[in-house]
Structures are given as C-alpha cells and as structure tokens.
C-alpha cells in the first residue's frame, strides 16, 4: 500500500529518476576517440543576396552594402559613376556572411553545405539567392565557392495589429551550396604512426584502448601517452596503407571508464546516478510538514425583529490546520548498491525532489563519493 502511494507521489510530481546500475557496455574505439589531424576546417566569405522583396539592407544605415554592389557591378562590366554611388537605393539586396565546414579529405568538385547570415539590417532573406561567394580559410586561400537559393525554413506574416514569425528570417542554409575548388594536401597512407585523441580524457580508458589494440594486433604497437592520447605505430605489414589499419582499429570494442557522478536538475526534479557512485555509512532523517487551508462559506440569517433592511449575508470561514508527519531515520550502510539506497529512501517516503536535498546533504557530510553536478 505504501509503495502505491509513493508511486502516485512520484507521478504527480512530474519528476523523472534514473539509476544507471548495469555494467558498462563496450564501445568502439571509433566512438571513443578521433585521429589527430583528421578534422574539419572552417571557411568564411562575404557575399550578396539578391531577389528579396523589399526586405534587404537600407542604404542609409548600411553604407558598405552600396559599396559592395558597386564593386560587383564593376566586375560585371557595369560602370557606376563615383558621384552617383551614394545615391543608389537597393531594397532587394542584402550583405551576408557565408560560413561552411570543409570536411577532411574533401576532393575538388565535392559539394558542402553553407550557412548564410545577414550582416546589415535586412529584415528577411526569404526568397533570396546568394551570388557567387569565395570561401576562404584561415590562411586567406580560397577553398570553395558558394552560390544558390537560400532556404530559411520559416515565415513571417504581418497584419495591422500583430504578426506571426517562425524561426529566424535573417539566417538560412543552402544544401550542397558550395563546390570545393582547392584540396588540402594530406597523404595519410604514408604516415609512420597515428595518434588517437580521446573525446573524453580518462587514463583508464586510454590504457584499455592501448591494451585492446595490442591484443587484437598480437603486437606491442599501441602506447598510452597521457589520459587523452594513444600513439599507434604502423606495423610493417601496413606500411603505405595506414587507412586499412585505422579501419581495423576503429571496430575494436573497449569498455570505457567513467568518473563517479550524480547529475541533478532542480527545475524538473531529475536525478541521474552512475554505477560507480559509492556512499559511506550515513544516517538520514526525513520528516514532513503539511499545512491545510480550507474555505467554508457560512450563511448568516438576520435575527428576529431585525430591521427591514437586514438581509441574508454569506460570511467566509477559513480553517487552518498544521501538522507534522512521522519522522523516520534511515541508516545507509557502507558500500551498498544504488538499488539498496533507493529502496531504503523509498521506505521513508522520499520523493525525487526530496532526494535532491538529501544527496546534497550527504555530499556535504563527505559520505557521498562522487561528483555532484547541478544543471
């Protein structure tokens, strides 16, 4: 009966409680680490978007918009007199910044996605088309060229008194909107060694990765450098063919290690505890205080021989009752499992939000051997 009441409390509080008590599942080395030097490269460019419906940059506030338009027209063979440049008025053009990520081993002619963001005071890029825009890297070399119609994935409707808008109208994307013009030269197969960079630094996980590679290859080719790096020497059989070695290594399963941690979200009452969380012997007392307020309207009739203007009156009556629930004391023994801790706390009527306060108190006492993280 008590368990049923606790379950009702649990659901009524709209809180969610996870206890991860199972064994750690093995993961592929591919998911635990990456290869040093194999990464994306960021590209950026300045461009113009045309075809807008009077939602582009204003010539008064965005002076460089007119300069960019005049420069573009000059490249296309249209000469604009210098004296008349300041008088140009274009409401259908917007200046934008174009960004993209150049993936590793991208070849000339490959297509990549680009993001187009308004630079001036344009109201919307809806229906616009990006003109040919060179995309440069940090070395100021052009690696791709972007062009095409922009998709913003939203809309804006404006009426006389109010309007409705969905998503940002000044930021859009062009799927496969840029073509790679220059490749980054990188001969991966001739490497003598590869460096595995762990996505999450952990000495135990790095040691397990090195051991798993050596066991799989039947040779001592992997060495842990630190908690985030493992060096793998290329064996003679894979000389000039490092890609095949990487393919074989990436599929090896390793059980990653993790730090004991308790994640708490006080806004939703969510608590997540890992299997490595340990609690020393500690006593927990839990009490409940409740206040009940009840309103009961009372009808008051006039007494006999009352004046004629006296009538029936409805008077409020407020009843306030204060009580305190039964206090319970729970002793949690040392080195118990999380399931035992949960069962013991449930026995004294602890809700998820109460559990947050209890865990914080246990951490302050030094009995909780885990990192307590609030989000």
pTM over 0.85: no
State the pairing for strand pair 129-136/142-149: antiparallel
- The helix (H) or strand (E) run that includes residue 363 is helix 352-365
What pLDDT digit, counting tens, does each position of 152-186 carry? 876 665 655 566 666 678 899 999 999 999 988 88
Section 235-239 average pLDDT:
88
Section 323-348 average pLDDT:
60
C-beta atoms surrounding 343 within 10 Å = 11
Please check whether residue 338 is in contact with residue 273, taking contact to mean a CB–CB distance below 8 angstroms.
yes
Q: Decide which of 346 and 84 is more confident.
A: 346
Q: Decide which of 311 and 223 is more confident.
A: 223
pLDDT given at position 6: 39
Spatial separation of the C-alpha atoms in residues 307 and 120, rounded to whole Å: 79
SS3 content of the chain, % helix, strand, coil (to 5): 20, 35, 40
CA 41 to chain centre: 21
Spatial separation of the C-alpha atoms in residues 209 and 216, rounded to whole Å: 11
**Residue 181 neighbours by CB under 8 Å, 6+ apart:** 108, 142, 143, 144, 145
pLDDT given at position 17: 41
For 371, the token pair is: 């990192």
What pLDDT digit, counting tens, does each position of 38-68 carry? 889 999 999 999 888 888 887 666 667 777 7
**Residue 338 neighbours by CB under 8 Å, 6+ apart:** 19, 21, 273, 275, 277
Q: Is the confidence at residue 297, as pLDDT, over 50?
A: yes
Domain span(s) for CATH 3.30.70 in the chain:
187-254
Q: Is the confidence at residue 102, as pLDDT, over 90?
A: yes
Residue count of the chain: 375
Phi, psi of 327, rounded to the nearest 5 degrees: -75, 140
pLDDT given at position 103: 92
Q: Is the confidence at residue 290, as pLDDT, over 60?
A: no
State the pairing for strand pair 328-332/282-286: antiparallel
First to last CA, the chain: 34
Spatial separation of the C-alpha atoms in residues 349 and 13, rounded to whole Å: 13
Buried b (16+ CB within 10 A) or exposed e, 183-209: eeeeeeeebeebbbebeeebeebbebb
Q: Is the confidence at residue 113, as pLDDT, over 90?
A: yes
C-beta atoms surrounding 342 within 10 Å = 16
Question: Could you tell me which CATH class the domain 187-254 is placed in?
Answer: alpha beta
């Amino acid at each position: 009966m008590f368990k049923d009441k606790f379950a009702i409390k649990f659901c009524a509080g709209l809180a969610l409680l996870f206890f991860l008590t199972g064994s750690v599942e093995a993961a592929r080395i591919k998911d635990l680490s990456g290869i040093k030097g194999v990464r994306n490269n960021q590209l950026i460019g300045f461009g113009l978007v045309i075809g807008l419906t009077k939602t582009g940059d204003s010539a008064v506030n965005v002076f460089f918009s007119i300069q960019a338009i005049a420069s573009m027209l000059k490249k296309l063979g249209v000469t604009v007199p210098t004296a008349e440049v300041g008088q140009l008025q274009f409401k259908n053009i917007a200046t934008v910044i174009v960004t993209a990520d150049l993936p590793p081993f991208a070849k000339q002619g490959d297509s990549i996605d680009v993001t187009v963001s308004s630079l001036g005071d344009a109201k919307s890029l809806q229906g616009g088309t990006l003109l040919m825009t060179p995309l440069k890297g940090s070395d100021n070399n052009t690696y791709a060229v972007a062009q095409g119609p922009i998709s913003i994935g939203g809309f804006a409707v404006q009426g006389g008194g109010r309007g409705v808008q969905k998503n940002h109208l000044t930021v859009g994307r062009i799927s496969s909107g840029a073509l790679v013009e220059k490749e980054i030269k990188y001969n991966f197969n001739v490497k003598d060694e590869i460096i595995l960079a762990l996505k999450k630094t952990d000495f135990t996980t790095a040691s397990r990765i090195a051991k798993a590679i050596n066991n799989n290859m039947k040779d001592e080719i992997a060495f842990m450098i630190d908690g985030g790096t493992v060096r793998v020497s290329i064996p003679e059989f894979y000389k000039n063919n490092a890609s095949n070695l990487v393919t074989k290594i990436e599929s090896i399963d390793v059980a990653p290690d993790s730090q004991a941690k308790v994640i708490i979200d006080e806004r939703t009452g969510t608590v997540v505890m890992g299997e490595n969380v340990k609690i020393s012997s500690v006593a927990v007392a839990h009490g409940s205080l409740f206040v009940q307020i009840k309103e009961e309207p009372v009808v008051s009739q006039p007494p006999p021989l009352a004046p004629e203007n006296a009538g029936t009156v409805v008077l409020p009556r407020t009843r306030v009752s204060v009580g305190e629930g039964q206090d319970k004391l729970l002793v949690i023994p040392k080195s118990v499992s999380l399931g035992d801790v949960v069962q013991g706390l449930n026995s004294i009527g602890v809700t998820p939000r109460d559990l947050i306060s209890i865990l914080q108190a246990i951490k302050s006492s030094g009995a909780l051997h885990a990192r307590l993280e609030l989000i």
